Amino acid sequence: MAAQEDSFLYALSSNNAWAGYKAHQNPNFFPKLASGQSPQILWLGCSDSRCPETTILGLQPGDVFVHRNIANIVSATDVNTAAVVEYAVAHLRVQHVVLCGHSGCGGALAALGGSRVGGVLDTWLAPLRALRQAHREELDAIRDDAARAVRLAELNVQAGVAVLMENVVVQEAVRERGLEVHGCLFDLATGRIRDLGFGTGRKGPSGSGGSGGEELVRGKHAQLVFRGGNASMTVR
Ligand SMILES: [Zn+2]
Protein backbone atom coordinates (compact mmCIF):
# COMPACT_ATOMS: atom_id res chain seq x y z
CA MET A 1 0.00 0.00 0.00
CA ALA A 2 2.96 2.29 0.61
CA ALA A 3 3.65 2.56 -3.11
CA GLN A 4 0.50 4.60 -3.58
CA GLU A 5 -0.35 7.29 -1.07
CA ASP A 6 -4.06 7.56 -1.91
CA SER A 7 -5.81 4.58 -0.38
CA PHE A 8 -8.89 4.96 -2.56
CA LEU A 9 -6.85 4.96 -5.76
CA TYR A 10 -4.96 1.99 -4.43
CA ALA A 11 -8.22 0.18 -3.71
CA LEU A 12 -9.47 0.83 -7.25
CA SER A 13 -6.28 -0.48 -8.81
CA SER A 14 -6.40 -3.45 -6.46
CA ASN A 15 -9.99 -4.13 -7.56
CA ASN A 16 -8.90 -4.00 -11.18
CA ALA A 17 -6.15 -6.52 -10.52
CA TRP A 18 -8.53 -8.76 -8.55
CA ALA A 19 -11.18 -8.71 -11.28
CA GLY A 20 -8.56 -9.62 -13.87
CA TYR A 21 -7.24 -12.42 -11.70
CA LYS A 22 -10.69 -13.89 -10.98
CA ALA A 23 -11.70 -13.73 -14.65
CA HIS A 24 -8.46 -15.40 -15.66
CA GLN A 25 -8.81 -18.07 -13.00
CA ASN A 26 -12.41 -18.82 -13.93
CA PRO A 27 -13.83 -17.15 -17.06
CA ASN A 28 -17.33 -18.09 -15.89
CA PHE A 29 -16.97 -16.41 -12.47
CA PHE A 30 -18.39 -12.98 -13.26
CA PRO A 31 -21.04 -14.12 -15.78
CA LYS A 32 -22.28 -16.50 -13.08
CA LEU A 33 -22.14 -13.75 -10.44
CA ALA A 34 -24.14 -11.42 -12.68
CA SER A 35 -26.83 -14.03 -13.28
CA GLY A 36 -28.16 -13.83 -9.70
CA GLN A 37 -27.56 -14.79 -6.11
CA SER A 38 -28.49 -17.81 -4.04
CA PRO A 39 -26.40 -17.50 -0.86
CA GLN A 40 -26.85 -20.16 1.81
CA ILE A 41 -25.61 -18.01 4.66
CA LEU A 42 -26.89 -14.80 6.23
CA TRP A 43 -24.11 -13.20 8.24
CA LEU A 44 -24.83 -10.65 10.95
CA GLY A 45 -21.57 -9.19 12.16
CA CYS A 46 -19.66 -6.16 13.35
CA SER A 47 -18.67 -3.32 11.02
CA ASP A 48 -15.07 -3.64 12.27
CA SER A 49 -12.64 -3.60 9.34
CA ARG A 50 -10.96 -6.70 10.71
CA CYS A 51 -14.07 -8.88 10.34
CA PRO A 52 -14.86 -9.06 6.61
CA GLU A 53 -17.15 -12.09 6.65
CA THR A 54 -16.58 -13.46 3.16
CA THR A 55 -12.81 -13.17 3.51
CA ILE A 56 -12.52 -14.74 6.96
CA LEU A 57 -14.86 -17.57 5.95
CA GLY A 58 -12.67 -18.27 2.94
CA LEU A 59 -15.74 -17.93 0.73
CA GLN A 60 -16.48 -15.91 -2.37
CA PRO A 61 -18.80 -13.17 -3.64
CA GLY A 62 -22.26 -14.68 -3.93
CA ASP A 63 -21.82 -16.96 -0.92
CA VAL A 64 -22.85 -14.74 2.00
CA PHE A 65 -25.69 -12.24 2.43
CA VAL A 66 -24.59 -9.64 4.94
CA HIS A 67 -25.68 -7.12 7.51
CA ARG A 68 -23.03 -5.51 9.69
CA ASN A 69 -23.36 -2.77 12.27
CA ILE A 70 -21.32 -1.45 15.16
CA ALA A 71 -20.83 -4.24 17.71
CA ASN A 72 -23.21 -6.60 15.82
CA ILE A 73 -26.20 -5.52 17.90
CA VAL A 74 -29.47 -7.25 17.00
CA SER A 75 -32.47 -5.45 18.45
CA ALA A 76 -36.06 -6.50 17.85
CA THR A 77 -36.99 -2.89 17.06
CA ASP A 78 -34.24 -2.30 14.49
CA VAL A 79 -36.06 -2.30 11.16
CA ASN A 80 -32.79 -2.29 9.22
CA THR A 81 -31.64 -5.62 10.64
CA ALA A 82 -35.18 -7.01 10.47
CA ALA A 83 -35.47 -6.17 6.77
CA VAL A 84 -32.18 -7.91 6.00
CA VAL A 85 -33.21 -10.98 8.02
CA GLU A 86 -36.62 -11.11 6.36
CA TYR A 87 -35.24 -10.79 2.85
CA ALA A 88 -32.51 -13.37 3.43
CA VAL A 89 -34.74 -15.90 5.18
CA ALA A 90 -38.10 -15.51 3.42
CA HIS A 91 -36.97 -14.58 -0.09
CA LEU A 92 -33.41 -15.84 -0.59
CA ARG A 93 -34.19 -18.80 1.67
CA VAL A 94 -30.74 -19.04 3.25
CA GLN A 95 -30.05 -22.21 5.22
CA HIS A 96 -27.95 -20.60 7.97
CA VAL A 97 -28.22 -17.38 9.96
CA VAL A 98 -24.90 -16.63 11.63
CA LEU A 99 -24.57 -13.92 14.26
CA CYS A 100 -20.88 -13.41 14.87
CA GLY A 101 -19.16 -11.15 17.41
CA HIS A 102 -15.43 -10.77 17.77
CA SER A 103 -12.61 -10.27 20.23
CA GLY A 104 -11.35 -6.75 20.77
CA CYS A 105 -14.68 -5.20 19.75
CA GLY A 106 -14.59 -1.45 20.22
CA GLY A 107 -18.29 -1.43 21.11
CA ALA A 108 -17.77 -3.91 23.93
CA LEU A 109 -14.72 -2.02 25.17
CA ALA A 110 -16.66 1.26 25.15
CA ALA A 111 -19.56 -0.29 27.07
CA LEU A 112 -17.15 -1.73 29.62
CA GLY A 113 -15.31 1.56 29.92
CA GLY A 114 -18.50 3.23 31.03
CA SER A 115 -17.56 6.61 29.65
CA ARG A 116 -19.57 8.53 27.10
CA VAL A 117 -18.53 8.16 23.49
CA GLY A 118 -20.71 11.04 22.36
CA GLY A 119 -23.15 11.66 19.56
CA VAL A 120 -25.51 8.91 18.53
CA LEU A 121 -23.05 6.20 19.55
CA ASP A 122 -24.11 6.14 23.19
CA THR A 123 -27.69 5.52 22.08
CA TRP A 124 -26.59 2.75 19.73
CA LEU A 125 -24.46 1.07 22.39
CA ALA A 126 -27.17 1.24 25.08
CA PRO A 127 -28.06 -2.48 24.72
CA LEU A 128 -24.42 -3.39 25.40
CA ARG A 129 -24.33 -1.18 28.48
CA ALA A 130 -27.55 -2.83 29.67
CA LEU A 131 -25.89 -6.24 29.25
CA ARG A 132 -22.91 -4.97 31.18
CA GLN A 133 -25.22 -3.94 34.01
CA ALA A 134 -27.15 -7.21 33.98
CA HIS A 135 -23.94 -9.26 34.17
CA ARG A 136 -21.84 -6.83 36.18
CA GLU A 137 -20.81 -9.33 38.84
CA GLU A 138 -19.58 -11.93 36.38
CA LEU A 139 -17.82 -9.36 34.19
CA ASP A 140 -16.15 -7.56 37.09
CA ALA A 141 -14.73 -10.87 38.30
CA ILE A 142 -12.76 -11.24 35.06
CA ARG A 143 -9.40 -9.60 35.71
CA ASP A 144 -8.11 -9.51 32.16
CA ASP A 145 -9.50 -6.59 30.12
CA ALA A 146 -9.41 -8.46 26.82
CA ALA A 147 -11.10 -11.53 28.32
CA ARG A 148 -13.81 -9.32 29.86
CA ALA A 149 -14.50 -7.77 26.44
CA VAL A 150 -14.70 -11.24 24.90
CA ARG A 151 -17.20 -12.30 27.56
CA LEU A 152 -19.37 -9.24 26.92
CA ALA A 153 -19.17 -9.96 23.18
CA GLU A 154 -20.39 -13.51 23.89
CA LEU A 155 -23.27 -12.22 26.00
CA ASN A 156 -24.13 -9.79 23.20
CA VAL A 157 -24.24 -12.65 20.67
CA GLN A 158 -26.38 -14.69 23.07
CA ALA A 159 -28.83 -11.80 23.42
CA GLY A 160 -28.89 -11.21 19.66
CA VAL A 161 -29.54 -14.89 18.92
CA ALA A 162 -32.42 -14.80 21.41
CA VAL A 163 -33.91 -11.87 19.46
CA LEU A 164 -33.47 -13.76 16.19
CA MET A 165 -35.18 -16.84 17.63
CA GLU A 166 -38.18 -14.64 18.51
CA ASN A 167 -38.40 -13.28 14.95
CA VAL A 168 -41.52 -14.81 13.36
CA VAL A 169 -39.93 -15.11 9.92
CA VAL A 170 -37.03 -17.02 11.46
CA GLN A 171 -39.35 -19.17 13.57
CA GLU A 172 -41.39 -20.17 10.52
CA ALA A 173 -38.30 -21.10 8.52
CA VAL A 174 -36.84 -23.10 11.43
CA ARG A 175 -40.10 -25.01 11.73
CA GLU A 176 -40.87 -25.46 8.06
CA ARG A 177 -37.51 -26.06 6.42
CA GLY A 178 -34.92 -26.51 9.13
CA LEU A 179 -33.26 -23.09 9.03
CA GLU A 180 -30.29 -23.06 11.41
CA VAL A 181 -29.35 -20.13 13.63
CA HIS A 182 -25.81 -19.94 14.98
CA GLY A 183 -24.01 -17.67 17.46
CA CYS A 184 -20.27 -17.38 16.94
CA LEU A 185 -17.22 -15.42 17.99
CA PHE A 186 -14.32 -14.49 15.73
CA ASP A 187 -10.92 -14.40 17.42
CA LEU A 188 -8.79 -11.71 15.82
CA ALA A 189 -5.60 -13.15 17.28
CA THR A 190 -5.98 -16.55 15.60
CA GLY A 191 -8.42 -15.93 12.76
CA ARG A 192 -10.63 -18.74 14.07
CA ILE A 193 -14.41 -18.62 14.44
CA ARG A 194 -15.79 -20.38 17.50
CA ASP A 195 -19.34 -21.74 17.55
CA LEU A 196 -20.86 -20.64 20.88
CA GLY A 197 -23.66 -23.18 20.58
CA PHE A 198 -26.55 -20.73 20.80
CA GLY A 199 -29.55 -20.79 18.49
CA THR A 200 -30.81 -23.97 16.89
CA GLY A 201 -27.83 -25.89 18.21
CA ARG A 202 -24.38 -26.52 16.93
CA LYS A 203 -23.13 -29.18 14.60
CA GLY A 204 -19.73 -30.19 13.40
CA PRO A 205 -16.33 -30.76 14.95
CA SER A 206 -16.79 -29.17 18.34
CA GLY A 207 -20.40 -30.30 18.77
CA SER A 208 -21.48 -32.64 21.49
CA GLY A 209 -22.62 -35.19 18.93
CA GLY A 210 -19.17 -36.76 18.77
CA SER A 211 -16.73 -37.13 15.93
CA GLY A 212 -19.29 -38.41 13.43
CA GLY A 213 -20.64 -34.92 12.75
CA GLU A 214 -19.86 -33.19 9.55
CA GLU A 215 -20.92 -29.72 8.64
CA LEU A 216 -20.84 -28.41 5.18
CA VAL A 217 -20.97 -24.72 4.48
CA ARG A 218 -21.66 -24.74 0.80
CA GLY A 219 -21.09 -21.53 -1.04
CA LYS A 220 -21.73 -20.92 -4.68
CA HIS A 221 -18.08 -20.97 -5.56
CA ALA A 222 -16.42 -22.70 -2.66
CA GLN A 223 -17.32 -24.95 0.19
CA LEU A 224 -16.00 -25.42 3.67
CA VAL A 225 -16.15 -28.90 5.19
CA PHE A 226 -15.83 -29.28 8.95
CA ARG A 227 -15.08 -32.82 10.02
CA GLY A 228 -13.48 -34.25 13.14
CA GLY A 229 -11.90 -30.96 14.18
CA ASN A 230 -10.64 -30.20 10.71
CA ALA A 231 -11.95 -27.95 8.02
CA SER A 232 -11.07 -28.10 4.40
CA MET A 233 -12.00 -25.81 1.61
CA THR A 234 -12.60 -26.65 -1.99
CA VAL A 235 -12.96 -24.01 -4.62
CA ARG A 236 -14.85 -24.60 -7.79
ZN1 LIG B 1 -16.74 -4.89 16.80
- pLDDT at residue 221, as a whole number: 58
- pLDDT at residue 213, as a whole number: 46
Q: Which domain holds residue 206?
A: 39-235
Beta strand 41-46 with 214-218 is unpaired
Distance between CA atoms of 144 and 230, rounded to whole angstroms? Answer: 30
Please give the distance, rounded to the nearest whole angstrom, from the Cα atom of residue 219 to the centre of ligand 1: 25
- Residue 110 makes CB contacts below 8 A (sequence gap 6+) with 117, 121, 125, 128
Contact 43, 67 (CB under 8 A): yes
The answer as to whether 152 is a domain residue is yes
What pTM was estimated for this model as a whole? 0.85
Active site residues: 46, 48, 50, 102, 105
The answer as to whether 24 is a domain residue is no
The answer as to whether 66 is a domain residue is yes
Phi-psi region for residue 187, left (φ > 0), alpha (ψ -120 to 50) or beta?
Answer: beta
Distance between CA atoms of 189 and 88, rounded to whole angstroms? Answer: 30
Q: What kind and span of H or E run contains 43?
A: strand 41-46
- pLDDT at residue 5, as a whole number: 83
Distance between CA atoms of 83 and 117, rounded to whole angstroms? Answer: 28
Query: For the domain that residue 186 is a member of, what is the CATH number?
Result: 3.40.1050.10
- pLDDT at residue 192, as a whole number: 98
Please give the distance, rounded to the nearest whole angstrom, from the Cα atom of residue 10 to the centre of ligand 1: 25
- pLDDT at residue 231, as a whole number: 65
What is the total count of domains within the chain? 1
* Residue 100 annotated as part of some ligand binding site: no
CB atoms under 10 Å from CB of 176, counted, come to 8
* Residue 184 annotated as part of some ligand binding site: no
- pLDDT at residue 234, as a whole number: 65
- pLDDT at residue 115, as a whole number: 83
Which residues of the chain fall below pLDDT 70? 1-4, 202-231, 233-236
* Residue 48 annotated as part of some ligand binding site: yes
Please give the distance, rounded to the nearest whole angstrom, from the Cα atom of residue 20 to the centre of ligand 1: 32
Please give the distance, rounded to the nearest whole angstrom, from the Cα atom of residue 17 to the centre of ligand 1: 29
